[in-house]
Amino acid sequence: MRSPAQLQTFLANPNLAKIPTPEQVKKLPKALLHDHLDGGLRPETIIELADEIGYKKLPSKDPIELAKWFEEACNSKSLVRYLETFDHTIAVMRTPKALRRVARECAIDLARDGVVYAEVRGAPELFTGSDMSMEDVVKETIIGFSEGVEIAQDEGNLIRVESLLCGMRQNNLSKQVAELVVKFRDRGVVGFDIAGPEDGFPPTLQQDVFDYLRREMAHFTIHAGEAYGLPSIWEAIQLCGAERLGHGVRIIDDIDRSGSEIKLGRLASYLRDRRIPLELCPTSNLQTGAAQSFGEHPIGILNELRFRVTLNTDNRLMSATSMSNEMNQCVKHFNWNFSDLQRVTINALKSAFIPFEERLEIIEKVVKPRFAEISAQ
């Protein structure tokens, strides 16, 4: 039996009730809110950049073997081990030329996968050195994205890429990063995030940063509810004022599914009632142990319960994934149809950190028409 929302969608466009094929999924417009710049490099690029700077620590200089190594190293079920793989990608990104190239290729690769809007995040402090300050990192990243968008357009692919700047939980540079967010807003940067190990580094350790961002009316999301549980989510929302949750998958711990009727706890109810977006990254979550299999991932039930679910890649290299792959897995394991995929796409755009009218334009002029066209094929 269809829910009222599903029935309304079906009556408006019966084609959206169909199950898409992988070929159709590839053509669908996609919106991405949670993608790490240093987690999406092409293996070939890593090898070439390593050669340029004399970096000798790569586990392989064969692109196929290197890609396989990253994926296998990240299948440890440990967030700490997962994060260690970034040592290699960060090491080769610490020059202006390299950073600009990685950002440029990121935009091109996302566009080729059908992504029409993306917010890509990175921590400026990770790429600084003799060649770049944190401000330089921001500038080079923005330039790289712009170059990639132009190349994508030449290839016939429409995409808009914005930057999120990350502070690292375990360090004390987040205030400087937040100031760069304010300085570069309306110039390619749309918001702030805090990343790094959750356990032992609650977001409230940097409460002053979030207070500053709120005073400046700047947007921010917080990694919470990935490796750590409900207290992390509660702090991020109630004390820090997060507009979105990076992952937030552990909200499932506040949903009782043991009986015949599903019961939401107070935090889960608040999250759903306030329409706080969840930046869910299923394949990544499998690697860090948040779920044992894709079919058991909470995104299925959270979508059914109408949380503000968004679908994301997190780290395309480490997870050997793409937006098309994440969508195809949801179709395969949860029987998602065009309507489900359109919903999470629109959810992402509703939750984006760009002005309302610009979000609405992408939804009405790009997403809905293309979903209608492709579902009718």
- Do 236 and 279 meet the contact criterion of CB atoms below 8 Å apart? no
Q: What is the dihedral of CA 25, 152, 109, 177, to 10 degrees?
A: -120
Distance CA 316, CA 279 (A): 15
Element housing 161 (H / E): strand 160-168
Q: What is the dihedral of CA 45, 51, 54, 59, to 10 degrees?
A: 70
* 3-class secondary structure, 46: helix
What does the DSSP 8-state code read for residue 124?
G
213-93-171 Cα angle (round to 5): 40
Q: Which class for 377: exposed (0-12), middle (13-18), buried (19 or more C-beta within 10 A)?
A: exposed
Distance CA 106, CA 244 (A): 23
Six token digits for residue 106: 């990121």
What amino acid positions are annotated as catalytic residues?
Answer: 226
Distance CA 265, CA 256 (A): 8
101-102-106 Cα angle (round to 5): 115
Q: What is the SS3 assignment for 170-184?
A: CCCCHHHHHHHHHHH
The amino acid occupying position 127 is F
Distance of CA 83 to the CA centre of its chain: 16
- Do 28 and 327 meet the contact criterion of CB atoms below 8 Å apart? yes
- Do 93 and 102 meet the contact criterion of CB atoms below 8 Å apart? yes
Which positions ≥6 away from 241 have C-beta within 8 Å?
A: 210, 214
Q: Which class for 333: exposed (0-12), middle (13-18), buried (19 or more C-beta within 10 A)?
A: middle
Distance between the two ends of the chain, CA-based, in angstroms?
Answer: 25
